[in-house]
Amino acid sequence: MAQALWDSDTNRLQPGKDYRISLQGKAGKVALNDDNNDNNDISDDNDAAGFPLFTFVDESIFQKETFKAFISLLDNYVSDTGEPEIVTPEEEAENHKFLDSIIRSATMKIAHKHLVEKNLSPESDTEFKKQLYRIWPDSSGFEHVFVGETRRGRTVIGFHNWIQLYLQEKLGHIDYKGYSVDANSPQPDENKHIMALQFSWKNGIKPKGSIFMGVSPEFEFALYTLCFLSSPNEHVKVQFSLYDVEIVCHHYNQKHIGTTYPMLVRYQTPPLTE
């Protein structure tokens, strides 16, 4: 099923053509101070990247329906987890517009058909939209995963979306610190569609985060929703293209997504072409 979603993602950007990134160095480890200590200084000794992560993005893609609707949601949230969210009628309308665009996409249609066949989702688009609304906007799942949050202004939590990362870096709010890799992880590559990285945002630090790169909003939304509804496990293994991936998907009260993100387990080297 993951392969079918991947194949249907015609809005996916091509690395090196539609966007380019600069990995630079491996980020250092970050030791966060105790929660009772308000001084959580981030040492530049951990910064292995003197330049931004993104060197180019073809922003014409952002005019496509799902991208445009997705981007309109990114400024609807207060990043501090201690601040209450107030949803305006305009923001609620933007939520509905985004879900409508996602449901119309070929990628989500594939996921929806599969979920209906497994008796996990209603067949009606109207009822399916209500289910998606409950899973995502009605909880903090969308904000946590796609927008990002800060805890006590010092630690960045969530923030697993490349579009938000690019737009915030463009505004000067992101300081990319370098890529993250451990002994069991595949080596990073500027042409891979998944990477782990470290960055600071709004004076907080994300010690390590893993994100899809260059994929469309409908692909992430469809894949994460599929994993959440079809598996009780919080670690779902999927395969598509050259990627063996583990989707981490924490359930909240079995009705909402707490967090979800990809972890690259294995990358198959593409065959050489003559």
- Give catalytic residues, as residue numbers: 144, 160, 206
Q: Closest by alpha carbon to 171, among 44, 74, 34, 242?
A: 74
| 92 φ/ψ angles, rounded to the nearest 5 degrees | -65, -40
Q: Packing angle between helix 125-135 and helix 89-104, nearest 10 degrees?
A: 120
Which residues have C-beta within 8 Å of that of residue 210, sequence separation ≥ 6? Answer: 160, 194, 195, 196, 197, 261, 262, 263, 264
Q: What is the 3-state secondary structure (H, E, C) of 182-229?
A: CCCCCCCCCCCCEEEEEEEECCEEEEEEEEECCCCHHHHHHHHHHHHH
- Dist CA 86 CA 177 (whole Å): 33
Q: Packing angle between helix 217-230 and helix 125-135, nearest 10 degrees?
A: 80
Are the C-beta atoms of 189 and 182 separated by less than 8 Å? Answer: no
Are the C-beta atoms of 94 and 72 separated by less than 8 Å? Answer: yes
Place of tokens 């893993």: 210
Are the C-beta atoms of 5 and 38 separated by less than 8 Å? Answer: no
